[in-house]
A = this chain, B = another copy of it.
Amino acid sequence: MTLTQNSQNSQNYSIAEIEQETGIKRDTLRVWERRYNFPVPLRNERRERIYSSEQLSRLRLIKQLMDSGTQPGKLVTLDKRELHALAEQHVCRSVSFPGSGVLDLLTGGSLCELQPRLEILLKELGLHDFLSNVVAPLNHAVGEAWFAGKLGILDEHHYTEQIRMILTAEMRRTARNDGARPRVLLSTMPGEPHGIGLLMVACTLSLEGAEILSLGVQTPLEEIVRGAVENKCAIVGVSCSEYLRRRTVASQLVRLRSMLPENIALWAGGSGLRNITLLQENIRIFSDLSQISAALQDQQIRSLTGSKRINSSKKRSNNHELF
């Protein structure tokens, strides 16, 4: 019994693999083929779709642009050059900030120099300012650069990994479990894989003296509730990127609120909650980190304040975690 050689020649992808790599669901791929006549893959002897690596890279590009708000129907007819041009156009001129030079390390391919550079910035600024003035804008800038095609998935992964490493280590340094209050349970919702925003929140809260119980990403709602109750947490914090559909996020948040005892506060934040019109009275929504530290200082969580309508802005998502 020899090894499966089917996709050996490194050129062909099944529909499942394309789904995996691009994040576009099978159903969607099939319906695009029907409607827009793209992508039209080859078929194997069993009539199953076989995509080429060129189709894959084009789909990746299209997905990027879709995530930034363009409709697929207007993208599939364009050729590669037009797509790239469009990507450029979507990038807004980035402002300068303490660590703006760091981005060049990524685009320039000097991956190994990233870590010491970040460490220096952290030391100079302290954790709090590092988070607000370096990590947050860098996240944004990295997302932008990725759209513009200036950054590969590789560079972005490496960046994420470095940030994760630094923040995790800082978390550990500042962590306390000496009965400090309030105790906060943090996680993301089922289906939400982005964890950097969560880490930033965790660091911020930890600095403010809270005791963090972090569950990482993708915890089922029932388990979040159980954890919060069993461990007597005063607050449950949920971070939402733009990865999930907005209505999914909204309905999950409402569901979570209804499952949670009233005396436990529910806080939600992250770029996935921009433009959410109104959720519910007793769900508190944050649009940036400083709001969180402020809110924590009202420790007592006296009389849950009404939900806060966040300042809306024209949608320009980038599928990356701004916070």
Contacts and interface: CB of A to CB of B under 8 A. Distances in A.
Interface centre among A8, A157, A190, A259 (most CB of B within 10 A): A157
A321 to B, nearest CB: 13
Interface residues of A, number: 63
A251 B247 CA distance: 37
Interface in A95-120: 109, 111-113, 115-116
Interface centre among A214, A220, A251, A259 (most CB of B within 10 A): A220
Interface string A54-71: 000000000000000000
B116 A190 contact: no
Given A20-B190, A111-B227, A153 B220 contact: yes
A83 interface: no
A165 B157 contact: no
Interface string A159-189: 0110011101101110101000000000100
B154 A191 contact: no
Q: Is the interface of A mostly helix, strand, loop or mixed?
A: helix
A255 interface: yes
A48 interface: no
A53 B220 CA distance: 12
Nearest to A166: B172
A171 B211 CA distance: 24
Interface of A: 1, 3-4, 6-8, 10, 17, 20-21, 53, 109, 111-113, 115-116, 152-154, 157-158, 160-161, 164-166, 168-169, 171-173, 175, 177, 187, 190-191, 193, 211, 213-216, 219-220, 222-224, 226-227, 230-231, 247, 250-251, 254-255, 258-259, 277-280
11 contacts: A3-B250, A7-B255, A8-B255, A10-B259, A109-B230, A112-B213, A115-B175, A154-B226, A161-B216, A168-B169, A169-B169
